Structure 1
Amino acid sequence: MKATYKEVKSDILAKIVKGDWGPGHLVPNEVDLALAYGCARATVNRAMRELADDGIIERRRKAGTRVRMTPVRQARFDIPIVRDEVEEKGADYRYSLVSREVDLAPDWLRARLQLPAGGKALHLICMHYADGVPYEHEDRWINLSALPTAEAADFGMQGPTEWLLATIPFSKVEINLSAGLADQKLADYLACSVGDPVFLAERSTWWEGDAVTHVRLSYRPGYRLTTRY
């Protein structure tokens, strides 16, 4: 079966996101890509035009097509990876998958991300540690209608954020930062006391109009947020 333009686009995006084709990499010409994907050149052309419109690649006559040095999605916002945060502090990082289940998206999630009724979502609870001390509690939902491959993904060894960044780009991000108080369950996870102040970060991402994921991150007392632009 011949590849569709969406499949061609998705595969090229995966190569870029995973770093196989880094910034400035010269992308093969449309004829070679059409042969590689077993499709018409027009199919490749459509995929390349959309990638250029998304700000992922740059097309220049006679100079060829290259991965942009600063892709639009990276220039707008860089989603942090907790492993990097911990290791930059000089601490040993450890990750643990607490629970994983597939269920119908709850009403609050459907309202938050404007998901249709009856859609399934993957619910993950994860913990991240620095030198053995709780660092971040992660409560994540992944929309399986937008990213069905997540259902079979192995999150036992790799955190969801790292997997998502290597699998799908994002075109829109919404972030909410707030302060809260630890309830009993969160206090147990973060090794703090009930009622202690905790820092909360909620983040939702979309790709081409489809909601991909929503995550609520909770940090124990004393956490400091650092951003760089």
Structure 2
Amino acid sequence: MTAHRRISFQVVRDEVKRRIEARVWPQGSLLPTETQLAEEFNCARATVNRALRELADQGFVERKRKSGTRVKKEPRRQAKLEISLARQTVENQNATYRYALVERNLVNSPGWLTSQLNVEPGARVLHVICMHYADNRPFQFEERWINIQAVPEVEHADLNTSGPHEWLLNAAPFTDAEIAFCAISADGRLAEYMGTTTGTSMIQLERTTWKDGQPITFARMTHHPGFCVRTRY
């Protein structure tokens, strides 16, 4: 039995998308099965499944149980979400921005992060906790894990005066990103940092980024109560 090489779902996603756009698989056509695609790309079926799920979310394909995956016939519309620095967002509100580094530690990747980033078990990551303020009021609590193998220079980077997101955009700009918005209730730690009470409803943004298929970072950004996210088609 041939072992599966470590191929990212982004590689499969992008190649399937390329074939759809090149009309290798025209609108309405049935795609090969997940098993067939996994054999072609020499990867796990779960990798293909995730790639097709993303393409379905993006409006390229539609998936039906027992019927397979088809290229969608109707035109797609995608919302565009700008990923802004906390500094830019605060200053765009005509407020004074302030940043504070809370913690910085080199750790071995815990199991959940190994799965999230698809890195080797026990891979070395930089764990960073920092705060962003607007007019000296808590604006965003940021917790981030950075893959040392992808960005080795971050191990000795100066993160005392500017945040890891800002540093990464200059040192290792990403090519792919996955974003999730979650409604959460503040626990004791979040409540303390954000100047609110335990149980307060807040918006938390989770973002994973890659550069040419290599995982760079996973971050959780929790915003102050009342924070609003807007996008447009």
**Aligned-partner residue type, residue 111 of structure 2:** D
What is the aligned partner in structure 2 of residue 111 from structure 1? 115
Question: What is the TM-score normalised by the length of structure 2?
Answer: 0.64
Q: How many residues align?
A: 154
Deviations 1:141-184 (A, max 9, x none): 00001111000000000111111111112121000001010000
Structure 2 residue corresponding to 1:159, chosen from 160, 163, 178: 163
Residue aligned with 1:164, SS: helix
Separation of aligned partners in 1, 2:116 and 2:146: 13
What is the aligned partner in structure 2 of residue 143 from structure 1? 147
Separation of aligned partners in 1, 2:193 and 2:211: 31
8 Å CA contact 1:179, 1:197 repeated in 2? yes
**Aligned-partner residue type, residue 144 of structure 1:** I
Separation of aligned partners in 2, 1:102 and 1:145: 12
Does the alignment pair 1:200 with 2:204? Answer: yes
**Aligned-partner residue type, residue 190 of structure 1:** M
**Aligned-partner residue type, residue 177 of structure 1:** F
What runs of 5+ residues in structure 1 fail to find an aligned partner? 1-75
What is the aligned partner in structure 1 of residue 185 from structure 2? 181
4+ runs deviating over 6 angstroms: none
Question: What is the TM-score normalised by the length of structure 1?
Answer: 0.65
- Cα deviation, residue 78, structure 1: 4.3
Separation of aligned partners in 2, 1:136 and 1:150: 22
Separation of aligned partners in 2, 1:190 and 1:135: 7
What is the aligned partner in structure 2 of residue 96 from structure 1? 100
8 Å CA contact 1:179, 1:199 repeated in 2? yes
**Aligned-partner residue type, residue 179 of structure 1:** A
CA RMSD in angstroms, aligned pairs only: 1.3
Separation of aligned partners in 2, 1:163 and 1:155: 8
What runs of 5+ residues in structure 2 fail to find an aligned partner? 1-79
Separation of aligned partners in 2, 1:227 and 1:95: 26
